A and B are shown apart, each in its own frame.
Chain A
Amino acid sequence: MSDPVLDRLAVRFEELLPAGAVITDPVRLRTYECDGLTHHRAMPGIVVLPETAEQVAAAVRLCGEYGVPFVARGSGTGLSGGALPRTDGVLIVTSRMRRILEIDLPNRRAVVEPGVTNLAITEAVREQGYYYAPDPSSQQVCSIGGNVAENAGGAHCLKYGFTVNHILGLEIVTPDGEIVELSALDPGYDLLGAFVGSEGTLGIATKITVRLSRTPEAVTTLLAAFGSIEGGGEAVSAIIAAGIVPAAIEMMDALAVEAAEAAVGCAYPEGAGAVLIVELDGPRAEVEHQFAAVERICRETGAFEIRVAASAEERAAIWKGRKSAFAAVGRISPAYIVQDGVVPRTALPEVLAGIDRLQEEYGIRVANVFHAGDGNLHPLVLFDDAAPGEGERAATVSGRILDLCIEHGGSITGEHGVGVDKSRYMPKMFTEEDLDTMQLVRCAFDPRSLSNPGKVFPTPRLCGEVPGVRKGVHPLVESGRAEQF
C-alpha cells in the first residue's frame, strides 16, 4: 500500500478490530473490487470485517478522523455498483454480522444483523408459519443490510410492497459514527423511510427489525405460454384490469427462456414467444375464485399452454427458471448487462418494440425478464467481451433502454438502485433543483460526504464538492425555500 494515510489508518484498525478483520494485502483486496456488477471495478484501500455495531461505529469514526471515505458492502450481489469500493477509502463488509438476534412472533417481527441473508430470515420462521415477504431473485445470498440500502424488490413486491414496507426499525451508524435508532413508529419526519433505499449514502444499518408475514393459506402458481410478448402483455393488463392483484406476475421472453432452460432445465413449454408466471396467494376461497378468472383471461388472450403447479415441488420448478434467469444468461452469452427500468404497464408493448429496434440497430441481443405486474423491466443485454467494440455497443443499448423508459414516463431503476452505474442518468430524470434538494437531505446526515461518495448522484454537488467547504449559495436556499443545515 502506498497511501500513507491509509497505512496509518490500517494500523489503527488493527488495534481496534479482532484479529483477521483488517485486510490490506493487495491480492486479497482485489477480490472485493466489484459487486454483482462487474464492469465497474476499484480495488479498495482497506477492507474491514467488523462483527458488532460498536466495531462498525468505531471504524466509521476512524474514517472520519482521517477524512477517508467508506463504503458498506453486504454479500456483494448488488447490480448497480452500489458497493463499488473506493481506492482511497475503506470497505466495511458486514458479512460477519449474521446473527438473528430476536424472533418475536406475537408481534410478527424479527431483529437481525445486516449480514443475515434475506432467505435465512424466512427459514428461521417458516415452520411456525411465517415468512419475510420481499424476495429478490438473489434472496438465498443477498444480505438484508444490502436490501435496506437498495430498497430491494422482488417478484412478490407487486402485492406486498418493497423492502421499505417491511422494515419496522433500524439501528444505524451515522456517517459521523454515532449509533442511532430509527423506528417506523417515531412521530415526525419519516427518517426510516429516508434511510431505506439511500444506497449507503446516509450511513450503515447495523440492526434491522423486519416485519414477518403470515404464510398465506393457499398459493397457486400458473405458467402460461404465449406465442408472443404482446399476447403475454395483454394478459397482464387484463388481469390487473379485472381487479386482481396477484402475488406476482412475471414474464420472460424466448431468449430468457432459452437461457433458463440451458441453466436449470426448467422445461418451460417449447416454442413460447413469452412465458408468463402468475402466482396468487391468500385465503383459499379468494385464490380459487381469482385463479379461475386468471386462467380464463390467459386463454382469451391467446395462451397456447397453461400449466398449474400441483405441489410445492412443481411450484419451485416453475420459479427456478425465473429466479436463476440472470445468472443463467451466462450460459448463452459470454457477458451481459442486467438492466433495470420501469415503465407504465400500458407502455410495455411500445417500449418492447423500441428494444427490438435497438437490437437490430446495434446488432446486440437482448433477453427480457420482467416483473410485468408493475412494469419493472430487466432487459439482459448480451455481448461478447472478447469481441472488440461489442461491450461499448452493449453499454449504449443498455443506456438507450433507460432513455426509452424515461421517454415513456417511467424510471431508470425499479429495484436495483442507482449506484455508480446510473448516476449519470439522474439528470435526465430530475432537474438541477431536484438533485440539489436531495443533496440537502444527504448533507443533513453526511455533511463531509464520506459515506459512499460518488454513488447515486452524477457529480459531487454542494457539500460533496469539497469536503467541509461550500461554494456559493444553493438556489433553494437563495430563494428562501430551504435552509442549510
Chain B
Amino acid sequence: MDPELIKDCVHCGFCLPTCPTYVLWGEEMDSPRGRIHLMSQHVEGTPVTPEMAGHFDACLGCMACVTACPSGVRYDRLIEQTRAVVEREHVRAPEERAIRELVFALFPYRRRLRALRLPMRLATRLRPLLERVHPSLGAMAELVPPPARPVRLPPRVHAVGRRRATVGMLVGCVQSQFFPQVNAATARVLALEGCDVVIPPRQGCCGALSLHSGRDARRFAKATIETFERAGVEAVVVNVAGCGSSMKEYAEVLKDEPGGWAERAAALRVRDLAEYLVELGPVAPRHPLPVTVAYHDACHLAHAQGVRSQPRELLRAIPGLELREIAESAVCCGSAGTYNLFQPGPARELGDRKARHVLATRADVLVSANPGCSMQIAAAMRRSGEGEMRVAHTAEVLDASLRGLGARALGGR
C-alpha cells in the first residue's frame, strides 16, 4: 500500500454514492474513502485485523470510485496492493481457504473447466445441497448457464474482402467454456470488418482472476504476452471486460521483472472489441435489427478501461435497433470476477438490484460485454421471477446485424 497513493485522497467523499457496498450498507468502512482510511491505518502500523480484511474483501474492485474521484486517486492500484497484503498477512478460515483454492485451481484453466461442464450441470440440480455445504458452492451452481454447443475455432479466420488488419483474439477461460458462441461471433464480426483474426489455440488464462484477487499474476501475464508476440498481430482484441482490463495492466504488473517485460507488455496493443471496432471504423453493411436493447456497463469496461461510448455507438448504428439506458448504470451488478463466489450475500443483493433496473427498461435483450456480468444478471432475473430477458454480447448483436439474421437470432420479437 503505497503511502504516496494513499495521500492523494483528500477525503471529499465523492466516491461514496458510486460504491456498491456503500450503496448497500451506508457504512464508512465499506466505502472507498473508508477503505483508504483503513489502508492508512495499516501503513501506520495497525495489523490486518479480521475486521479490516473483511472490509477489503467486501470491495468488489469495480473501480466506479476511480471514475468518480476528482483527485485522481489510484484506488485500483491501492486495492490490488492491499489484496496482496491481505493474502500474505491474513489467515482465512479453513473452509474459506478451501473454496478460494478450488476457484483459483479451476477457473484459470480451460481444460479443467471443460472437464467440469457435465458435473456442473448436475450441480444445478444439487444446488440446495451445495448451498448447505457452503454458500459459495450454492452461488456457483446458481450461476452456471445452460450448456452451450461447443464451438471449435480455427487458428486463423481470414478477412472478408480487402484485409485491413491482422489481430489476435483472446478466447477467455470462462467465455470459451460457457459462451463459445460469443467468441465465434467476435471472430466473424472482425473478419467481416476486414480483419485477419489469429486465435492461438494454446493460449492460457490472462491472469485477471489472480490479479484482481491479490495473487501473483506474472506467470500468466508473461505466457499471454509470449503467445501473442508469436502470433504476429497488430493488436490483441479482447471481448471480456475483465480480461481486457488486466491485460492493459501488464506493463504495471511486470514493471520490476528483468528481461524487458514491461516494454514487451507495453508493445502489446490490447483493445476491447468495441473500442477496436470504433477505432477501425465500419465497412461491413449493417442490416436492420428491429429490437430494443438495454446496454449494461461492465465495470471493467466502463470504469477500468473507460470504454462507455464505443459499444453504445456500435449498437446505435444498427438500423432499427433501439438502445435503452439502465438506471444506476455505474453501479456494479455484483459479479465482479470472483466476488459472487466469495461474497455471495452482497453479490446477491447487488444482482437483485441490477435485475430490477434491467427489467424496468422492458427491453428485448440485455447486452453485456462480460461473461461474469451476463451470468450474474441472468441468474438474478431468473431468481426474481419477474420475467427473463435474453442476454447477449455486443459481438452477437453486431454479428446478427452484419449477417442479416434478423431479430429472431437474438430471441427478440
Expressed in whole angstroms, the minimum distance between the Cβ of B90 and any Cβ of chain A is 13
From A5-13, A31-39, A167-175, the one touching the partner chain is A31-39
- Contact A138 B14, CB 8 Å, known A27-B52, A115-B26, A334-B7: yes
Residues of chain B at interface, number, CB under 8 A:
29
Is residue A263 contacting chain B, with contact meaning CB distance below 8 A? yes
Task: Assess the B12–A138 pair: CB atoms within 8 A.
Answer: yes
Q: Which residue among B37, B55, B69 has the maximum number of chain A CB atoms within 10 Å of its CB?
A: B37
Task: Assess the B13–A95 pair: CB atoms within 8 A.
Answer: no
Task: Assess the B26–A330 pair: CB atoms within 8 A.
Answer: no
Task: Assess the A27–B10 pair: CB atoms within 8 A.
Answer: no
Q: Which residues of B contact A32 (CB under 8 A)?
A: 28
Scan residues 87-126 of chain B and give those whose CB is less than 8 A from a CB of chain A. none
Contact with A along B2-20 (1 / 0, CB 8 A): 0000011111111011000
Q: Which residues of B contact A38 (CB under 8 A)?
A: 10-11
- Contact A75 B13, CB 8 Å, known A27-B49, A28-B51, A327-B70: yes
Is residue A186 contacting chain B, with contact meaning CB distance below 8 A? no
Task: Assess the B71–A331 pair: CB atoms within 8 A.
Answer: yes
Task: Assess the B51–A327 pair: CB atoms within 8 A.
Answer: no
Per the bound structure, the CA–CA distance linking A33 and B9 in Å amounts to: 15
Expressed in whole angstroms, the minimum distance between the Cβ of B361 and any Cβ of chain A is 15
Task: Assess the B37–A30 pair: CB atoms within 8 A.
Answer: yes
Expressed in whole angstroms, the minimum distance between the Cβ of B59 and any Cβ of chain A is 14
Q: Which of A75, A77, A330 contacts B71 (CB 8 A)?
A: A330
Expressed in whole angstroms, the minimum distance between the Cβ of A27 and any Cβ of chain B is 5
Task: Assess the B14–A96 pair: CB atoms within 8 A.
Answer: no
Is residue A346 contacting chain B, with contact meaning CB distance below 8 A? no
Task: Assess the B26–A95 pair: CB atoms within 8 A.
Answer: yes
Is residue A396 contacting chain B, with contact meaning CB distance below 8 A? no
Expressed in whole angstroms, the minimum distance between the Cβ of A415 and any Cβ of chain B is 16
Q: Which of B14, B27, B37 contacts A141 (CB 8 A)?
A: B14
Task: Assess the A263–B13 pair: CB atoms within 8 A.
Answer: no
Q: Which of A28, A141, A324 contacts B13 (CB 8 A)?
A: A141
Is residue B128 contacting chain A, with contact meaning CB distance below 8 A? no
Scan residues 61-101 of chain A and give those whose CB is less than 8 A from a CB of chain B. 75-77, 93, 95-96, 98
Q: Which residues of B contact A34 (CB under 8 A)?
A: 11
Task: Assess the B10–A327 pair: CB atoms within 8 A.
Answer: yes
Residue of B nearest to A77 (CB): B13
Task: Assess the B11–A324 pair: CB atoms within 8 A.
Answer: no
Q: Which residues of B contact A314 (CB under 8 A)?
A: none
Residues of chain A at interface, number, CB under 8 A:
40
Q: Which of B10, B26, B55 contacts A96 (CB 8 A)?
A: B26
Expressed in whole angstroms, the minimum distance between the Cβ of B18 and any Cβ of chain A is 9
Q: Which of A28, A36, A262, A331 contacts B12 (CB 8 A)?
A: A36
Residue of B nearest to A330 (CB): B71
Expressed in whole angstroms, the minimum distance between the Cβ of A47 and any Cβ of chain B is 8
Contact with B along A327-338 (1 / 0, CB 8 A): 111110011100
Is residue A25 contacting chain B, with contact meaning CB distance below 8 A? yes
Is residue B41 contacting chain A, with contact meaning CB distance below 8 A? yes
Is residue B384 contacting chain A, with contact meaning CB distance below 8 A? no
Q: Which residues of A contact B16 (CB under 8 A)?
A: 75, 141
Q: Which of B22, B26, B37 contacts A49 (CB 8 A)?
A: B26
Task: Assess the B70–A263 pair: CB atoms within 8 A.
Answer: yes
Residue of B nearest to A98 (CB): B26
Expressed in whole angstroms, the minimum distance between the Cβ of B71 and any Cβ of chain A is 3
Expressed in whole angstroms, the minimum distance between the Cβ of A12 and any Cβ of chain B is 21
Per the bound structure, the CA–CA distance linking A336 and B17 in Å amounts to: 24
Q: Which residue among A27, A142, A328 has the maximum number of chain B CB atoms within 10 Å of its CB?
A: A27
Expressed in whole angstroms, the minimum distance between the Cβ of A383 and any Cβ of chain B is 13
Task: Assess the A324–B51 pair: CB atoms within 8 A.
Answer: no
Task: Assess the B34–A27 pair: CB atoms within 8 A.
Answer: no
Q: Which of A27, A140, A326 contacts B51 (CB 8 A)?
A: A27
Task: Assess the B26–A31 pair: CB atoms within 8 A.
Answer: no
Task: Assess the A140–B14 pair: CB atoms within 8 A.
Answer: yes
Task: Assess the B70–A324 pair: CB atoms within 8 A.
Answer: yes
Is residue B38 contacting chain A, with contact meaning CB distance below 8 A? yes
Q: Which residues of B contact A27 (CB under 8 A)?
A: 29, 38, 41, 46, 49, 51-52
Expressed in whole angstroms, the minimum distance between the Cβ of A116 and any Cβ of chain B is 11
Expressed in whole angstroms, the minimum distance between the Cβ of B247 and any Cβ of chain A is 25
Expressed in whole angstroms, the minimum distance between the Cβ of B327 and any Cβ of chain A is 9
Contact with A along B194-210 (1 / 0, CB 8 A): 00000000000000000
Per the bound structure, the CA–CA distance linking A33 and B28 in Å amounts to: 10
Is residue A117 contacting chain B, with contact meaning CB distance below 8 A? yes
Per the bound structure, the CA–CA distance linking A34 and B12 in Å amounts to: 11
Task: Assess the B13–A76 pair: CB atoms within 8 A.
Answer: yes
Per the bound structure, the CA–CA distance linking A28 and B27 in Å amounts to: 10
Residue of B nearest to A326 (CB): B12
- Contact A330 B8, CB 8 Å, known A31-B38, A263-B70: yes
Residue of B nearest to A324 (CB): B70
Q: Which residues of B contact A441 (CB under 8 A)?
A: none
Is residue B282 contacting chain A, with contact meaning CB distance below 8 A? no
- Contact A138 B49, CB 8 Å, known A31-B37, A327-B70, A327-B71: no
Residue of B nearest to A119 (CB): B17
Residue of B nearest to A327 (CB): B70
Q: Which residues of B contact A93 (CB under 8 A)?
A: 26, 28
Per the bound structure, the CA–CA distance linking A142 and B46 in Å amounts to: 30
Contact with B along A391-415 (1 / 0, CB 8 A): 0000000000000000000000000
Per the bound structure, the CA–CA distance linking A117 and B46 in Å amounts to: 33
Q: Which residues of A contact B11 (CB under 8 A)?
A: 34-36, 38
Residue of B nearest to A331 (CB): B72
Q: Which of B17, B25, B52, B72 contacts A140 (CB 8 A)?
A: B17
What are 10 A-to-B residue pairs whose CB atoms are below 8 Å?
A27-B52, A31-B34, A32-B28, A33-B37, A262-B72, A264-B70, A327-B69, A330-B10, A330-B72, A331-B72
Sample of 12 further A-B pairs with CB below 8 A, known A31-B37, A330-B72: A31-B28, A32-B28, A33-B37, A75-B13, A77-B12, A95-B26, A95-B27, A117-B17, A140-B14, A141-B12, A331-B72, A336-B10
Instruction: List 5 tightest A-B contacts by C-beta distance, closest first.
Output: A330-B71, A95-B26, A327-B70, A324-B70, A31-B34
